[in-house]
């Protein structure tokens, strides 16, 4: 499984043509306590850069963008009852949605873990 990152602080883990998407630990830390998460519905088509989810925190509501194009397979239903999973486990149990990847070439525009670490160190 390969993991990539965006400059908007989303992560995407790709296994074949299925990807899992969430926000990074850096993002959840900046947002503060997550109070509500609106995940996309299964079957929704998203294009790279589209708003796909919304994360509400005590500080602000933030859009979460699709890092690549594809179709949503499922939203993380556990976040309805426990949105704090995005705070406590942002890069595993706090994932936001799973999707099929329609254009794997779009992954080339994303950062690997080392590049993302360098990026956030400059912020």
Give me the residue spans of the domains in the chain. Answer: 2-102
**Domain spanning 2-102: CATH 2.40.50.100:** yes
> pLDDT per residue over 28-73, tens digit each?
999 999 999 999 999 999 999 999 999 999 999 999 999 999 999 9
Give strand pairing partners of 15: 18
Q: What is the 3-state secondary structure (H, E, C) of the chain?
A: CEEEECCCCEEEEEECCEEEEEECHHHHHHHCCEEEEECCCCCCEECCCCEEEEEEECCCEEEEECCCCEEEEEECCHHHHCCCHHHHCCCCCCCCEEEEECCHHHHHHCECHHHHHHHHHCC
> pLDDT per residue over 66-110, tens digit each?
999 999 999 999 999 999 999 999 999 999 999 999 999 999 999
Sign of CA dihedral 83, 88, 93, 95: positive
CA 52, 86, 68 angle in degrees (round to 5)?
30
Residue 25 pLDDT more than 90?
yes
pTM listed for this prediction: 0.96
The two structure tokens encoding residue 92: 């595993």
CB distance 21 to 66 below 8 Å: yes
């Amino acid at each position: 499984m390969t993991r990539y990152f965006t400059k908007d602080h989303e992560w995407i883990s790709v296994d074949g043509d299925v990807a899992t998407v969430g926000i990074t630990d850096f993002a959840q830390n900046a947002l503060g306590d997550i109070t509500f998460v609106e995940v996309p519905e299964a079957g929704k088509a998203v294009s790279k850069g589209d708003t796909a989810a919304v994360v509400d925190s005590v500080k602000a509501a933030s859009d979460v963008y699709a890092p690549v194009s594809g179709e949503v397979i499922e939203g993380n239903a556990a976040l309805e009852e426990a949105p704090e999973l995005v705070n406590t486990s942002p890069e595993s149990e706090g994932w936001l949605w799973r999707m099929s990847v329609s254009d794997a070439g779009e992954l080339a525009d994303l950062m690997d873990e080392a590049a993302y670490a360098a990026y956030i160190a400059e912020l």
